[in-house]
């Protein structure tokens, strides 16, 4: 995580991370660095984006634990969250899937659920798949 964060910070012309080296802190710092790269008109580095996506998914699962909804952000990660009927085999009945950049925007409050769905970049199927009530996971304002 630290390597990915420092590489993204270097790409932004920022010094290496000198803060606390703990997964939650590094994950949030990766989210900030990746959004800064996007705000600067660039593409975030793959490993930093992976770190940010995983951090945001884990934070969502911590906030609303359960196994009723599966949130998939290929190719990086997937989590199950929200209380309710759970699945154990096959395709779950409630699935949310999107690309990493759309997830980053949704999870940081930079993109509205309905706008993401209308654009076709967000796919939500099943009666419990609307997780908009749990977003944003953290707020990161545009720079």
Q: How confident is the model over 32-52, as pLDDT tens digits?
A: 999 999 999 999 999 999 999
Characterise 142 by phi-psi region: left (phi > 0), alpha (psi -120 to 50), beta (else): beta
pLDDT level of residue 143 (50, 70, 90 thresholds): low
Of 85, 99, 90, the closest CA to residue 129 belongs to: 85
β-strands 95-98, 69-73: how paired? parallel
Q: Where are the beta strands (DSSP E) in 44-134?
A: 69-73, 77-81, 95-98, 122-125
Per-residue confidence at 11, pLDDT binned at 50, 70, 90?
very high
pLDDT of residue 70: 95
> Is the model's pLDDT at 91 over the cut of 80?
no
pLDDT at position 57 is 98
Number of continuous H segments (helices) and E segments (strands) in the chain: 5, 4
Quickly count: other Cβ atoms within 10 Å of residue 119's Cβ.
11
Nearest CA-CA partner of 7 in 41, 31, 27, 30: 30
Residue 25: per-residue pLDDT: 96
pLDDT at residue 87 tops 90: no
Q: What percent of the chain has pLDDT over 90?
A: 90
pLDDT of residue 141: 77
* In this structure, CATH architecture of domain 2-134: 2-Layer Sandwich (3.30)
């Amino acid at each position: 995580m630290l390597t990915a964060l420092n590489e993204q910070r270097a790409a932004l012309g920022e010094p290496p991370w000198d803060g606390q080296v703990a997964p939650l802190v590094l994950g949030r710092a990766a989210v900030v660095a990746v959004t800064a790269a996007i705000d600067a008109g660039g593409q975030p580095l793959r490993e930093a984006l992976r770190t940010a996506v995983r951090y945001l998914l884990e934070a969502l699962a911590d906030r609303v634990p359960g196994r009723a909804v599966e949130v998939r952000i290929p190719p990086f990660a997937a989590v199950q969250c929200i209380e309710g009927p759970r699945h154990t085999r096959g395709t779950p009945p409630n699935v949310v899937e999107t690309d990493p950049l759309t997830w980053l925007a949704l999870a940081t409050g930079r993109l509205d659920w309905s706008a993401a769905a209308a654009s076709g970049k967000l796919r939500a199927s099943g009666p419990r798949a609307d997780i908009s009530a749990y977003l944003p996971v953290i707020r990161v304002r545009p720079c």
